[in-house]
Amino acid sequence: MYISKSFIPILKNNPSEAKIKSHQLMLRVGMIKQSSAGIYSWLPLGFKVMKKIENIVREEQNKIGAQEILMPTIQSSEIWKESGRYEDYGEEMLRIKDRQNREMLYGPTNEELVTDIFRSSIKSYKSLPQLLYHIQWKFRDEIRPRFGIMRCREFYMKDAYSFDISDDEALFSYNKFFLSYLKTFKRLDLTAIPMAADTGPIGGNLSHEFIILAETGESKIFTDKRIFDVDNEDTKLEKKSLENLRKKYEQFYSVTDEKFNQEEFEKKVSEKNRLKTKGIEVGHIFYFGDKYSKPMGGSVDLPGGKKDFVKMGSYGIGVSRLVGAIIEAKYDEKNEVMKWPISVAPYDLAVIPMINKNDTSALEKANKINIELKKNNIESIIDDTDENFSSKIKKMNLIGAPFQIIIGKQSDGELLEFKEIGKETKKINLTQIIKIIKEQKVKN
């Protein structure tokens, strides 16, 4: 892609309305455009990143056997009256009337709708477990939308739902999602820690939030530092192995402020391991048994002939919020350098030829390079403008492709100036460059 033809409306300076770095960068490089309070359009650069995140989320859901569906954004109030949440949910729910004067709403979450889908088709324990998920826009009329897409009103979420025959089986499903979340965030090059959390309006008694440490986060967290060393490498998708994984995490005190207790914190965590900080909630999982299946009549036949209500859990990931969370973790705002993890980078590589009006040989060289890159599935962005060198570099540093090739006066013959953002420039040939980038892509 040529910069001159791309829709990447870069601003010269940081927009003054943005208070945190993810919001600043997203407006600065035109990843999003606000359309009204807490509601955004996603422009090509932002949309590309979000779609790549979405795909990683999807792959990790599929790996644990969850099946993808797509439920609508608009729901009928009927099912929410059945569960009893229509009144409880309050002003965060956007309520709409259609032309027949029927009460509709823009879904803030989908427990009711998915329970309705389940109950109409699944009748026997033999079809369990069922793990269903969708990736869809949600609307919550947040009282204070802020920080760009981090806390907005319309946002993109992956929400999954599990249906099981017993508490024991349901915990098995819960633990599958627990593992899949750790793997998902790792592929995004983020360290997310699972923390015991409150269940809020979703209800239930077991819940974990997945939090990324960040000064600008809105969640206060209290944790034992040793939790960062827990690894999940040898966890298998089996009951015992997954139980052990949760135990490995749960042995360390780690909670959000709703569950915080000073005395317990001091008792369980030695002074040197205590960490009080802030973080961004990127995922949240809940187990709530028959909270929805009971009032809504979601039951199945059991082996002996009796019936019982299915035991359910729900599992959310803030797909659009993750775009901001990655920026919070990776953007060096002081030097104005962003480095996207290769797994979600809008472009793998920036090609920066030095062009002046009389000499376009560097651009010709860039075009030739690009043919080879394409053959190797490496996506590049080429700065084909005749701006000066430092402004070209500045722009590419904001766009954040993790690798750069600079084609200047010194690049003679086969050797090219190549750098991974944040590292030293090397002089190597194109074959070596392709090898380095491909190796990184495979790892992710």
Residues of this chain that interact with ligand ATP (CB under 6 A) are: 109, 140, 142, 151-152, 155, 157, 281-284, 316, 318, 320-321
**Which residues are paired to 135 by β-bridges?**
158
Residue closer to ligand ATP by CB (options 220, 419) is 220
How, if at all, do strands 32-36 and 154-164 pair?
A: unpaired
The reply on whether position 392 binds Mg ion by CB under 5 A is no
Closest chain position to ligand ATP (CB): 318
Q: Which residues pair with 299 in a beta bridge?
A: 309
Q: Which is nearer to ligand ATP, 157 or 434 (CB)?
A: 157
Question: Which residue, 70 or 143, is less far from ligand ATP as judged by CB?
Answer: 143
Q: Among ligand ATP, Mg ion, none, what does residue 157 contact (CB within 5–8 Å per kind)?
A: ligand ATP
142 binds, among Mg ion, ligand ATP, none (CB under 5 to 8 A by kind): ligand ATP
Q: For residues 200 and 88, what is the distance between their CA atoms, to the nearest angstrom? A: 11
Q: Is 284 in the site for Mg ion (CB under 5 A)?
A: yes
CA-closest candidate to residue 92, choices 157, 154, 156: 154
State the minimum distance, in angstroms, from the CB of residue 14 to Mg ion.
Answer: 30
What's the Cα-to-Cα distance from 299 to each of 58, 69, 82, 359, 365, rounded to whole Å? Answer: 28, 21, 15, 74, 66
Binds 130: which of Mg ion, ligand ATP, none (CB < 5-8 Å by kind) = none
SS3 444: coil
Integer CA distances (angstroms), 377 to 273, 365, 402, in order: 45, 19, 15
Nearer to Mg ion, 138 or 284 (CB): 284
Q: Which is nearer to Mg ion, 125 or 286 (CB)?
A: 286
Which of 46/283 has CB closer to ligand ATP? Answer: 283
Which of ligand ATP, Mg ion, none does 50 bind, CB closer than 5 to 8 A by kind? Answer: none
Task: Tell which positions 200-259 bind Mg ion, by CB under 5 A.
Answer: none
- Quick one: what does residue 207 bind among Mg ion, ligand ATP, none, with the CB cut-off 5 to 8 Å set by partner type? none
Helix axes 44-63, 319-330, angle to 10 degrees: 110
Partner that binds at residue 392, options Mg ion, ligand ATP, none, CB closer than 5 to 8 Å by kind: none
Strands lying side by side in the sheet with 74-76: 74-76, 103-106, 94-97
Q: What is the DSSP string of 359-380?
A: B-HHHHHHHHHHHHHHHTT--E
Q: Is 120 helix (H, G, I), strand (E, B) or coil?
A: helix
Q: CB of 217: closest distance to ligand ATP in angstroms?
A: 9
Helix %, strand %, coil % of the chain (to 5): 40, 30, 35
Q: Is the peptide bond before 129 cis (omega within 30 degrees of 0)?
A: yes
| Residue 131: CB minimum distance to ligand ATP, A | 17
> Which residue, 321 or 339, is less far from ligand ATP as judged by CB?
321
Rounded distance between C-alpha atoms, residue 228 and residue 225, angstroms: 6
Give the Å distances, CA to CA, from 123 to 45, 59, 182, 307, 394.
45, 28, 33, 9, 60
Q: Please count the residues of this chain forming the interface with Mg ion, following the rule CB under 5 A.
A: 1
* Nearer CB in complex with ligand ATP: 179/319: 319
Q: Which stretch binds Mg ion (CB under 5 A): 112-120, 218-226, 283-291, 433-441?
A: 283-291
d(CA 203, CA 185) in angstroms, rounded, equals 25
Quick one: what does residue 318 bind among ligand ATP, Mg ion, none, with the CB cut-off 5 to 8 Å set by partner type? ligand ATP
Between 69 and 436, whose beta carbon lies closer to ligand ATP?
Answer: 69
Name residues whose C-beta falls within 8 Å of residue 148's C-beta, 6 or more positions apart in sequence.
18, 20, 22, 23, 26, 27, 32, 34, 40, 324
Q: Which does 154 bind (CB under 5 to 8 A by kind): Mg ion, ligand ATP, none?
A: none
Q: Which two tokens stand for residue 307?
A: 């019936």
**What's the min distance (Å) between Cβ of 161 and ligand ATP?**
13
Residue nearest to Mg ion (CB): 284
Give the helix ranges, DSSP H, for 284-386: 293-296, 319-330, 361-375
Q: Which is nearer to ligand ATP, 157 or 433 (CB)?
A: 157
Please report how close the Cβ of residue 210 comes to ligand ATP at its closest, in angstroms: 7
**Shortest distance, position 201 Cβ to Mg ion, whole Å:** 10
CB atoms within 10 A of CB 25: 24
Minimum Å gap between C-beta 152 and ligand ATP is 5
Nearest-approach distance from CB 207 to Mg ion, in angstroms: 8
The residue ranges that bind Mg ion (CB under 5 A) are 284
